[in-house]
Amino acid sequence: MPASRELGAGEGWAAHLRTCGVAMITEVDRNEMIGGLFLRDKPAKILLGLRTNDAPVYVTILSKDANCTYSHTIKILNALKDLGVVDFEKTGRIKKVTLTEEGEAIAQHLEEMVRKLLKLSSAAKKTESRAKKAADKKPKK
């Protein structure tokens, strides 16, 4: 079996697995990969960063916004490209990224989920604060 290596630009996970001697990915492996891709902090920040911009975005800007290296950002974006979530526009050495129609829908759902979780968190804090105030008002024996 060939040694493990870094993914090159434009190389997806499926191609990488084939070069490592893995001919097939199980459905469970694929689900874990997809879940890990969308339910982690940096890929989510990258998707949301793309959603907030109407024009194509430089990869370096996405890297800074997601607080990760350029190479890690490229790996995430290549995985997203393999899933049909993003497209690249390359002009010389400069790479810009846009969401596909499907990517826009996923990013919108992700944004709504984050908004709902923040709302729930805010409501929980208010409830906790009210309970603490009520406990403070009780007369001490």
pLDDT tens digits, one per residue of 76-119: 999 999 989 999 988 888 889 999 999 999 999 988 988 888 88
**The pLDDT of residue 131 is above 90:** no
Any idea which residue has 């001919």 for tokens? 23
Residue 71 maps to a domain = yes
Q: What is the mean pLDDT of the chain?
A: 76
**The pLDDT of residue 14 is above 60:** no
CATH of the domain at 95: 1.10.10.10
Question: Rounded to the nearest 5 degrees, what angle is found at the Cα of 109, between the Cα atoms of 42 and 15?
Answer: 50
**CA quadruple 57, 62, 64, 69: dihedral, nearest 10:** -130
Two tokens at 113? 């989920």
Among 2-6, 11-15, 63-67, the range with the most confident prediction by mean pLDDT is: 63-67
The whole domain housing 31 covers: 13-130
- pTM for the model: 0.63
Residue 47 maps to a domain = yes
CA–CA separation, 79 and 85 (whole Å): 9
Residue 19 maps to a domain = yes
Between 51 and 27, where is the model more confident?
A: 51
Residue 36 maps to a domain = yes
Residue 109 maps to a domain = yes
Residue 53 maps to a domain = yes
CA–CA separation, 117 and 108 (whole Å): 14
Residue 7 maps to a domain = no
Determine the pLDDT at residue 84. 93
> Which of 31-45, 62-76, 121-135 bottoms out in mean pLDDT, i.e. has the lowest?
31-45
Instruction: Name the residue among 99, 113, 110 with its Cα closest to residue 50.
Output: 99
**The pLDDT of residue 120 is above 60:** yes
60-76 mean pLDDT: 92
**In the structure, what pLDDT confidence band is assigned to residue 73 with cuts at 50, 70 and 90?**
very high
Count the domains in the chain.
Answer: 1
